[in-house]
Amino acid sequence: MSELKWGDRELAYDSSAFVRGSGHYVDDIKLPGMIHMSVLRSPYARARILSLKGGMSSKDLGARMASVGEGASPEAGLSIEPVFATGFVNYVGEPVAAVFADDRYKSTDLLESIEVDYEPLEPVVTIDDALKLGPIHSGRKDNIMVETSKGTDFQDPESPIVIEDTLENDRISANPIEPRGIVTSYTDGMLNVWISTQAVHSVKEGLVESLGISPESVRVMQTDTGGGFGSKGGLYPEYVMASYASMKFGKPVKWIETRREHLASTNPGRGVRGKVKIFAERNGRINGLKGEVTIDAGAYDSGIASFSPGFVAMQMTGPYSIEKAFVVARALFTNKVPQGPYRGAGRPEASFFIERMMDMLADELAMDPADLRLLNMSDKPFVSPMGLKIDAARPFFEGAVRELEYRRESKMSRGVGLSFFVLVPAVYPGESARIIVKDGKVSVWLGGNSHGQGHEIFVKKLINEELQVPEELVTLYRGDTGMTKTGVGTWGSRSAIVAGAAIVAVCKKIKQEVEKEFGSYSVRSLLSSGYDEFINNELKMPLNSFGANLATVEIEKMGRVRVKKCAAYYDVGRALNRDMVIGQIQGGMAQGIGQTLHEGLFYNKEGQLITSSISDAGVPLAEDLPNFIVNIVENRSFLPHGAKGLGEAPTVGVPTALTRAIESVSGKRLRRTPVTPEELMK
């Protein structure tokens, strides 16, 4: 492999490079004098560290504790993951020490030279353990990390029908093709960081906080990123170690995660339980909903734990016009790797809870599940008691039932599942964009960067629309904090909305500049001059959209499920590029099938991870996937470019539709994902 001179070479982002095999990933970086880091990790779910000799460890970092670096109260301080375990380890895979050598074989060898004495302690492994056993962190009175509620409590109505159940999504690993990785280099007082990430600014802010250095002395640059699915959104302990080491040793440092490390130590998603009670009339009309949401948050707050419980709770009435609702939600400490966002990040969980309950209520009343849903929808916009804003649901769902041919499908076979959801993209607080026009070319940076979505395709299209610049003259560069003062990141179905809006806004600014200079706008004038405009385009209004899925299945021998059909009907707003939209939906549907049938992280009673290879963790294979049917609805949003959110829609809609299809055909009540052959054979 040729030596790359990073810093000199262009950091242009071009999705077609991945197809041509010419992507430049973080592990492709080779800098003179670079050393490799390997991390010694806890073999215990919970233990006291009696002694530790060798390697870089917490004592080298002094008082620096924070990993995520959110301004912490003394109590919250206990819940933030330390860079290196300090006195105790709290999950299998927690970093204890790091070693460095000039190649990866030697650094791996060096791990064996570290001596650690542990005194194993009784671990808290499950949600039930967390509620029953004493706190994992001394100084706290229990294992409740956060507790909140949404809606207003109400007296149980005297409804003739009351159903109650407990539903759960097991934890799953993000498992992008490329695991995490970082290269750090400290020269002349400047910390340069190259990283596989969804958000260069999050990484930068975290490093600034954790290392206690000034924002001006850190530059974080994104390399090509082979997927993230939420797991590469923020800061991790290894990033702080590698940065600190490059400052201490004066040498570039590289760390590349192994798949085993990914499964053990990268924040997985899901791991949420919902207890839901529904009050209804005999005709199917729902009077009220009460619920409890419990998140298996792991040993520390990964950064979303304080937000997640309320976010799941807020969506628990789904797209239905339920007038009374109250949900208590909490995140619990367990001796497992901190839970984090995974494609959907709270949305699929909430949808699983309400959609499973809708199907159960339909069964209870012997109603058709689509009819029951229709009965509980509004023709007008609706704001739920928990503050969820939705448009008129009924017309959309009627369209979905028609286009997905639900009535025909459900006449033809028993194994049909239908789901309906409202997608809540992470619009807040908007996104930044910068455009430089120089030498007849247009260069673009976004605050949130592509990790496989293909941002450059809509960037070129929108700039062409706004400024009439031919697409071949536009280049999107990878995320770089050196080129954008602020920025957010790519997650939560947000980029087409917020990055798209930022591009439109910065184009308008440039157009005004051109008009000021030349009297009127023309693309020739634009390209003949020079401009450099940055905008931090705030967006705070929710921009929710509807989606529906239909799945049909067969159950083969020994409880093996064969997905026959997986169809989507999504409102994506204006589709900025149809092929990209279809690709997003197909990929997401594969992941939805994965969650439903194959994927799970399983721990034994001692808190040891049993699923320690990618095969064991159960990613779906080609033979598991059906033909996908994609119906795109284009109801423009209020934004100038008309986009709505999309990325997470399939992981919200598919697990619920698929679980229902399996339930219908097996006759077994299904309450959790993954749905295993064992459960179907019971």
Partner 1 sequence: MHPSSFEYFAPTKMEEALELLSKYGEDAKIMSGGQSLIPLLKLRIASFPYVIDISGVQGLNRITENKEFLEIGALTTISSIADSELIKKRYQILHEAAGQIADPLIRNRGTIGGNISHGDPSNDIPAVAIALKANLEVIGKEGKRIVEAHSFVTDSFTNVLKVGEILNKIRIPVAPDNSGGCYIKQKKSAGDFSVAAIAVQLSLHDNDSVKSAGIGLTSVAPKPTRAMKAERFLEGKKINDSVVREAAKIVVSESDPSTDFYGSSEFKRKVLGKIAEEAINLSFERATVR
| Helices 578-593, 649-666: inter-axial angle, 10-degree rounding | 40
What's the CA gap between 484 and 408, in Å, rounded?
Answer: 52
Cβ closest to partner 1, residue 16 vs residue 604: 604
What's the chain's Rg over C-alpha atoms?
25
Q: 510 in helix, strand or coil?
A: helix
Q: CB of residue 40 vs partner 1: minimum separation in angstroms?
A: 13
> How far apart, in Å, are the Cα atoms of 531 and each of 102, 440, 447, 512, 661?
44, 11, 19, 11, 56
Sign of the alpha-carbon dihedral angle for 569, 573, 577, 580:
negative
**Closest distance to partner 1 from the beta carbon of 613 (Å):** 9
CB of 6 to partner 1, least distance (A): 24
Token pair in block for residue 637: 């949003």
Number of residues that bind partner 1 (CB under 8 A): 24
Judged by CB under 8 A, the chain residues 282 through 301 that form the site for partner 1 are: none
Q: Which is nearer to partner 1, 542 or 677 (CB)?
A: 677
- β-pairing, 35-41 vs 253-256, is parallel
Q: Is 562 in the site for partner 1 (CB under 8 A)?
A: no
Q: 278, 164 in Cβ contact below 8 A? A: yes
CB of 566 to partner 1, least distance (A): 17
Specify the DSSP class assigned to residue 614: T
Give me the residues paired with residue 148 across strands. 329
Q: Rule CB under 8 A: choose which of 73, 557, 638, 667 binds partner 1.
A: 557
CB nearer to partner 1: pick between 586 and 676: 676
> Per the structure block, which two tokens stand in for 654?
């598919």
Q: Please state at what angle helix 347-365 crosses helix 649-666, rounded to 10 degrees.
A: 30
CB nearer to partner 1: pick between 258 and 529:
258
Q: State the minimum distance, in angstroms, from the CB of residue 108 to partner 1.
A: 5
**From CA 634, how far away is CA 574, in angstroms rounded?**
5
Binding mask 634-653 for partner 1 (x = CB under 8 A): --------------------
Q: Is residue 212 a contact point for partner 1 (CB under 8 A)? A: no
Sign (positive/negative) of CA torsion 312, 315, 318, 322? positive
Contact pick of 260, 275, 461, 672 for partner 1 (by CB under 8 A) = 260
Q: 438 vs 605, which CB is nearer to partner 1?
A: 605
Question: Given the complex with partner 1, which of 58 and 596 has the nearer CB atom?
Answer: 596
Q: Using the rule CB under 8 A, is 41 a contact of partner 1? A: no
**Binding segment for partner 1 among 7-15, 45-53, 611-619, 641-649 (CB under 8 A)?**
611-619
Cβ neighbours for 472, distance < 8 A, ≥ 6 positions apart: none
Residue 305 Cβ, how far from partner 1 at the closest point, in Å? 26
Q: Which is nearer to partner 1, 216 or 623 (CB)?
A: 623
Q: Is 602 in the site for partner 1 (CB under 8 A)?
A: yes
Residue with tokens 């490079």, as numbered in its chain: 17
Of residues 101 and 392, the one with the C-beta less far from partner 1: 101
Question: Going edge to edge, which strands form the sheet with 441-446?
Answer: 474-476, 441-446, 430-438, 531-538
Instruction: Please tell me whether residue 28 binds partner 1 under the rule CB under 8 A.
Output: no
**Beta-bridge mates of residue 269:** 172
Q: How far is the CB of 256 from partner 1 (least distance, A)?
A: 9
**How many angstroms separate the CA atoms of 182 and 326, rounded?**
43
Q: Assess 615 for contact with partner 1 (CB under 8 A).
A: yes
| Contact (CB, 8 A) for 26 and 256 | yes
- Is there binding between residue 258 and partner 1 (CB under 8 A)? yes
Q: Closer CB to partner 1, residue 516 or residue 557?
A: 557
Regarding 411 and contact with partner 1 (CB under 8 A), the answer is no
Q: Which of residues 86-125 bind partner 1 (CB under 8 A)?
A: 104-105, 108-109
Helix (H) or strand (E) holding 553: strand 545-555
By CB under 8 A, is residue 605 in contact with partner 1? Answer: no
Binding mask 324-363 for partner 1 (x = CB under 8 A): ----------------------------------------
Helix or strand holding residue 36 (H, E): strand 35-41
The verdict on 17 binding partner 1 (CB under 8 A) reads: no
Choose the stretch contacting partner 1; rule: CB under 8 A; options: 266-274, 303-311, 612-620, 660-668: 612-620
Identified binder of partner 1 from the candidate list 611, 651, 659, 666, rule CB under 8 A: 611
Binding of residue 383 to partner 1 (CB under 8 A): no
Burial of 32 (0-12, 13-18, 19+ CB in 10 A): exposed
H/E element holding 582?
helix 578-593
Q: Is the peptide bond before 429 cis (omega within 30 degrees of 0)?
A: yes
Beta-sheet strand order (sheet of 325-333): 144-151, 325-333, 286-298, 272-280, 161-169, 672-673
The one segment of 267-275, 343-351, 431-439, 619-627 that binds partner 1 by CB under 8 A: 619-627
Catalogue the E-assigned strands of 79-133.
88-89, 95-101, 115-120
Binder among 252, 600, 647, 655 for partner 1 (CB under 8 A): 600
Options 465, 513, 616, 634; binder of partner 1; rule CB under 8 A: 616
> Where in 658-677 is the site for partner 1 (CB under 8 A)?
676-677
Q: Which is nearer to partner 1, 439 or 678 (CB)?
A: 678
Residue in 237, 41, 42, 40 with CA at minimum distance from that of residue 121: 42
Where along the sequence are the contacts to partner 1 (CB under 8 A)?
104-105, 108-109, 258-260, 557-558, 598, 600, 602, 610-611, 615-616, 618, 621, 623-624, 676-678, 681
